[in-house]
């Protein structure tokens, strides 16, 4: 229960209902660090208050939908979007950010990606969550997708005009069935021909521009990934050269076999050559990326200017012959709807399965292997903040005296580099974990009466700030 309160303060809903705890309002204060900045979050009643490291109130929220979700997504650089029940793309609640970092004692060891409740408010959310957290579809993917959707909004203007035209034609057809017009249709022949020519030119041009923009955005994503990889390689080469120059002696002994290797000029020169090649590649890739960005801007301008062609069609449609508009009688075959299919495709991405087929006592061990493989992918490739890993009691499904120590050693040895691990255990099985140990000695109780004054003293300024802020808002 102690571990569950960590996410409750960040409004990631856990499965509290399975515990027979007395009802009550839990007040929680959590200090956390994001990008070398310290923050506090206070959950007081139904309110969530964010403070900076000096204890000054940054903002106050009454619910996830009332601003807290946007604040957390911005702070943790969480740009994933999922379609809600109305089909609108929205940033999901904090539970989807913390989902891969928390293994619940009950559901987390029975089924993956299930440690939080209320996840089914989105349908088909598993694959997008896996793709996002493992870096297959990072923040850049959703930013680019948003740009494409903005272009689609511009194109929808044409669709709306066509729909209006259809409605008008339907009305005119109904009127024509009851009325006779003395119209010389031959006089419209040349105008119809002009209309069809202009429409076809518009369709052809815009299809070419859409295809060109799709190709350019694909090139941009690829080049951005190559720039990032090259930058990392260049940084590693620079560190290797500095280490060989300043740290290593002229002769280096292998700690395993005892063989000696020279750290001479030729070895260091080879590292320097690798660094030079990386630098040249890094500069060339950045130049290519700038060229692609310029082409995107130019193509977008050309696309916008092509909409002026539509005005030429409108001029013809609004010409009159007698009392009847050409727009009212032109045949529907002379009009082709302008539609968009601007969807970013990633058909070459291999699907990461979320299915675990093990059962019984093997299931928790298989889930542990799965969870940590995902965590290592997140640590290496994800574009969002890497959160603390919280694991609640791995001893599930009757682990025996051999497999339980193995499971705990696996957790200890496979913890991603530079990550924080919060582990709830009943018994360590003689596996030593570094860090602070909190012993919960009282049955069915987490609060210690003797520590209440000190805890209250720490929390009181934050609670007072919360109450003062709410009282000000009443006046």
Mean pLDDT computed over every residue of the chain: 77
The token pair that represents 97 in the structure block: 């950010």
Query: What pTM, to 2 d.p., does this model score?
Result: 0.56
pLDDT at 377: 92
Largest CA distance in the chain: 105
Burial (CB count <10 Å: 0-12, 13-18, 19+), residue 214: middle
pLDDT at 251: 56
> In whole angstroms, how far apart are CA 365 and each of 360, 368, 410?
10, 5, 9
**Distance (Å, whole) CA 395 – CA 361:** 9
Is pLDDT larger for residue 304 or for residue 275? 304
Pairing verdict, β 82-83 and 89-90: antiparallel
Best CA proximity match to 14, nearest among 266, 297, 390, 294: 390
Q: SS3 helix, strand, coil % of the chain, rounded to 5? A: 55, 10, 35
Q: What single string gives the DSSP state of each residue in 224-239?
A: HHHHHHHHHHHHHHHH
> In whole angstroms, how far apart are CA 423 and each of 113, 326, 379, 419, 426?
18, 75, 19, 13, 10
DSSP three-state, residue 387: coil
pLDDT at 52: 94
Residues of the chain with CATH 1.10.287: 143-334
**Distance (Å, whole) CA 387 – CA 30:** 14
Please state, as a whole number, how many other Cβ atoms lie within 10 Å of the Cβ of residue 87: 6
What contacts 445, CB < 8 A, 6 or more positions away? none
| Stretch among 158-162, 184-188, 380-384, 429-433 having the lowest mean pLDDT | 184-188
Best CA proximity match to 389, nearest among 418, 431, 362: 418
55-83 pLDDT tens trace: 999 999 888 778 888 999 999 999 898 88
Given a contact cutoff of 8 angstroms between Cβ atoms, the answer to whether 367 and 356 are in contact is yes
The winner for highest mean pLDDT among 15-19, 115-119, 401-405, 463-467 is: 401-405
> 143-334 is classed in which CATH architecture?
Orthogonal Bundle (1.10)
Is pLDDT larger for residue 72 or for residue 344? 72
Strand partners, 29: 42
**Distance (Å, whole) CA 344 – CA 222:** 13
- Mean pLDDT for 293-321 is 72
**Distance (Å, whole) CA 412 – CA 430:** 12
**Distance (Å, whole) CA 139 – CA 141:** 5
Is pLDDT larger for residue 257 or for residue 67? 67
Pairing verdict, β 389-392 and 421-424: parallel
Q: What single string gives the DSSP state of each residue in 211-224?
A: HHHHHHHHHHHHHH
Given a contact cutoff of 8 angstroms between Cβ atoms, the answer to whether 465 and 51 are in contact is yes
**Distance (Å, whole) CA 182 – CA 322:** 9
């Amino acid at each position: 229960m102690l571990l569950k309160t960590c996410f409750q303060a960040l409004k990631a809903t856990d499965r509290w209902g399975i515990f027979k705890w007395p009802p009550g309002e839990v007040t929680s204060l959590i200090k956390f660090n994001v990008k070398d900045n310290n923050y506090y979050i206070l959950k007081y009643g139904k309110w969530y208050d964010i403070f900076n490291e000096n204890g000054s109130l940054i903002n106050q929220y009454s619910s996830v939908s009332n601003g807290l979700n946007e604040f957390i997504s911005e702070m943790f650089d969480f740009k994933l979007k999922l379609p809600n029940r109305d089909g609108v793309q929205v940033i999901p609640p904090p539970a989807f950010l913390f989902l891969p970092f928390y293994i619940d004692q009950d559901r987390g060891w029975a089924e993956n990606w299930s440690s939080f409740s209320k996840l089914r408010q989105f349908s088909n959310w598993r694959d997008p969550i896996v793709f996002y957290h493992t870096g297959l579809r990072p923040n850049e993917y959703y930013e680019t997708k948003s740009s494409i959707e903005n272009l689609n909004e511009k194109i929808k203007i044409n669709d709306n005009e066509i729909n209006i035209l259809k409605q008008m034609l339907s009305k005119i057809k109904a009127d024509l069935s009851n009325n006779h017009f003395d119209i010389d249709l031959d006089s419209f022949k040349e105008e119809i021909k002009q209309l069809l020519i202009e429409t076809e030119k518009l369709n052809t041009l815009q299809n070419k521009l859409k295809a060109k923009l799709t190709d350019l955005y694909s090139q941009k994503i690829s080049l951005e990934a190559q720039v990032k990889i090259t930058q990392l390689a260049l940084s590693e080469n620079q560190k290797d050269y500095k280490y060989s120059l300043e740290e290593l002696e002229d002769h280096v002994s292998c700690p395993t076999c005892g063989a000696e290797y020279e750290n001479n000029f030729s070895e260091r020169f080879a590292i320097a050559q690798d660094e030079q090649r990386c630098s040249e590649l890094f500069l060339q890739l950045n130049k290519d990326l700038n060229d692609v960005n310029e082409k995107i801007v130019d193509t977008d301008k050309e696309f916008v200017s092509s909409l002026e062609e539509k005005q030429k069609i409108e001029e013809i449609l609004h010409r009159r012959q007698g009392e009847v508009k050409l727009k009212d009688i032109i045949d529907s075959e002379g009009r082709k709807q302008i539609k968009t299919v601007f969807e970013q495709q990633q058909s070459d991405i291999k699907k990461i399965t979320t299915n675990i087929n093990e059962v019984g006592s093997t299931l928790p061990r298989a889930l542990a292997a799965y969870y940590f493989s995902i965590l290592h992918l997140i640590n290496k490739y994800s574009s969002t903040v890497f959160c603390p890993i919280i694991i609640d009691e791995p001893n599930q499904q009757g682990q025996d005296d051999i497999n339980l120590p193995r499971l705990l050693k696996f957790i200890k040895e496979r913890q991603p580099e530079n990550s924080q691990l919060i582990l709830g255990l009943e018994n360590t099985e003689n596996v030593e974990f570094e860090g602070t140990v909190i012993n919960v000695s009282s049955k069915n109780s987490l609060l210690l009466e003797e520590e209440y004054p000190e805890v209250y003293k720490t929390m009181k300024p934050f609670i007072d700030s919360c109450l003062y802020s709410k009282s000000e808002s009443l006046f």
